[in-house]
A and B are shown apart, each in its own frame.
Chain A
Amino acid sequence: MQAGSTAIRFDGVTLGYDRRPAVHHLDGEIPSGSLMAVVGPNGAGKSTLLKGIVGTLKPLDGHIRLDGSSGIAYLPQAAEIDRSFPLSVYDLVAMGLWSRSGLFGGVARRERTRIEQALAAVGLIGFERRPISTLSGGQMQRALFARLLLQDAPVILLDEPFTAIDAKTTADLLDLVRRWHDESRTVVAVLHDLDMVKRTFPQTLLIAREPVAWGETGEVLSAENLLKARRMVEAYDPHADVCHRHVA
């Protein structure tokens, strides 16, 4: 990845469900290697934005362009994982190697070492054989981060990764996030804890269906901007007209 290149570009992007926009007319770029937080009130379209980047949601309008085909690792909010499925922690984490072994490959010895390293990085050594149904919220999140580690993707998207997670786990996992940043990966995270954002994330996008502010965290998270965002209502208007605003 070249420094200064763009990882993700938005061109007049509108994302939503059933013609109703959750994200309205977003333009901009996320440079590669950035460590960016996405914040905003509830219903602001933050999760929707991530889904659009990953590709699970097609834009209602505009384009989202990704740099090459370098791969994205995505951690959804409250992952829809079937906890009751008889799977061990080891196997769950090993899924991260998917793109390497693909459909049929087994797990080679070299890979086994990497899996162990990932488990060590998140503090889950000794948990390999435990079924995932026995994990606490924090332990599960650690396992999912280990999986992200193994995916080794240049772009990492995290949707509210620390909600309802204990402080120790949060601290440990934030270390990982910083490590990713040091490795020049692009990390975009949806967060609610503004103090954490101010401490850890250099860039922020404040969004309330439409982008309110985007740039240096300190500037973006001014009292004025935050008020403005809060005022933009979660407008679900049953009589809404077709949107005519042009985007250049």
Chain B
Amino acid sequence: MLDLFYTPFSEFEFMQRALVGVIAIALGGGPVGVFLMLRRMSLTGDAMAHAILPGAAIGYLVAGLSLPAMTIGGLFAGVIVAVAAGLVSRFTALKEDASLAAFYLLSLALGVTIVSLRGSNVDLLHVLFGTVLALDDSTLLLLSSISTITVLALALLYRPLVLECVDPVFLRSVSRAGTPTHLIFLGLVVMNLVGGFHALGTLLAVGMMMLPAAASRFWSNDITVMMLLSVAIGIASGLSGLLLSFHAELPAGPAIILSAGAAYVLSLLLGREGGVLWLAWPGKHLEA
């Protein structure tokens, strides 16, 4: 038993680091994912992950696989796309899904072109897939900072965020906090994706954001509980994925996302709130 769960981490520092990294990602990504999902913006997360690419690519072009360069680049690109899409949908007839789709496709193509310019396809692979097994001190610091900022920001912005989701017209009529809240939220999404992509790559960073959140929906109707659950599921997926990678020789990043996916399917089937099993066999009806 000990050998199965504990030894891989006690014996190898890279495993400890990977776990810390994944915990940080889950801490920030889970709650953000819950809000994305409740606001019907799940695919936005995916789009934003791709939007980050040209910024990170430019950072890479300028300074190679450098953490600060690619992070700043990614943040810039993400923020620009998020703000642009948000503003376009607020002030023109085009709704957010279409404007975001347009921007992120542009972004992705731009990003791939830029990385290809510099020559090596391998680095492109690493940008796309990440290296959770190779987290150095600065990356870990970045990930922890991002999750701390995220948690603080969400605590502060909780009420306007909820309002913005449920009744944006009302919010607009009582306060001007609507648009900035939305933009700050998108900023948080970008930050968490940029952090996630250093460890898991563009494609999988979104997975850690959306899958635990989607799974948590099937267990509770309370937003706070959902957020806590999504963090727990995220951490559990990380743990499970790392152990799978260790014992079954699967590549680490995908193993983590597969674990999260399994959690989602289990929740889908067994979850108390609308899980398939409960829908199929609801039991006798109540008195009132």
- Direct A/B contact, Cβ within 8 angstroms: yes
Q: Point out residues on A near B: beta carbons under 8 Å.
A: 54-56, 72-74, 76, 79-82, 85-87, 91-92, 95, 98-99, 102-104, 131, 147, 151
Chain A residues near B222: list those with CB within 8 A.
Answer: 86
Chain B residues near A95: list those with CB within 8 A.
Answer: 163, 167, 170
Chain A residue at minimum C-beta to C-beta distance from B225 = A86
Q: Say whether A82 contacts B173, CB under 8 Å.
A: no
- 29 A-B Cβ contacts within 8 A? A54-B173, A55-B173, A56-B169, A56-B172, A56-B173, A76-B169, A79-B167, A79-B169, A80-B167, A81-B166, A81-B170, A82-B166, A82-B167, A85-B166, A86-B220, A86-B226, A87-B162, A87-B166, A91-B162, A98-B159, A98-B163, A98-B174, A98-B175, A99-B174, A103-B157, A103-B160, A103-B177, A131-B221, A147-B170
Q: How many residues of B contact A (CB 8 A)?
A: 23
Q: Say whether A86 contacts B172, CB under 8 Å.
A: no
Q: Say whether A104 contacts B169, CB under 8 Å.
A: no
Closest 4 CB pairs of A and B: A86-B221, A85-B166, A81-B167, A74-B173
B156 interface residue (CB < 8 Å to A):
yes
Interface-centre pick from B163, B172, B173, B174 (highest chain A CB count, 10 A):
B173
12 extra interchain contacts, Cβ-Cβ under 8 A, other than A56-B173, A73-B173, A85-B166?
Answer: A72-B173, A74-B173, A79-B167, A80-B168, A82-B167, A85-B162, A86-B38, A87-B166, A95-B167, A102-B175, A103-B156, A104-B159
Q: Say whether A103 contacts B159, CB under 8 Å.
A: yes
B165 interface residue (CB < 8 Å to A):
yes
The contact string, 1 if C-beta is below 8 Å from chain A, for chain B 56-75, is: 00000000000000000000
Q: Point out residues on B near A: beta carbons under 8 Å.
A: 38, 156-157, 159-160, 162-163, 165-170, 172-175, 177, 220-223, 226
Q: With A and B bound together, what is the CA distance between A74 and B177 in angstroms?
A: 17
Chain A residues near B174: list those with CB within 8 A.
Answer: 98-99, 151
Measured CB to CB, the closest approach of chain B to A10, in angstroms, equals 19
Q: Say whether A80 contacts B156, CB under 8 Å.
A: no
Measured CB to CB, the closest approach of chain B to A185, in angstroms, equals 16
Q: With A and B bound together, what is the CA distance between A63 and B274 in angstroms?
A: 51
Q: Say whether B156 contacts A104, CB under 8 Å.
A: yes
Q: With A and B bound together, what is the CA distance between A131 and B168 in angstroms?
A: 18
Chain A residues near B167: list those with CB within 8 A.
Answer: 79-82, 92, 95
From B166, B221, B223, contact of A92 by CB (8 A): B166
From B38, B172, B177, contact of A85 by CB (8 A): B38
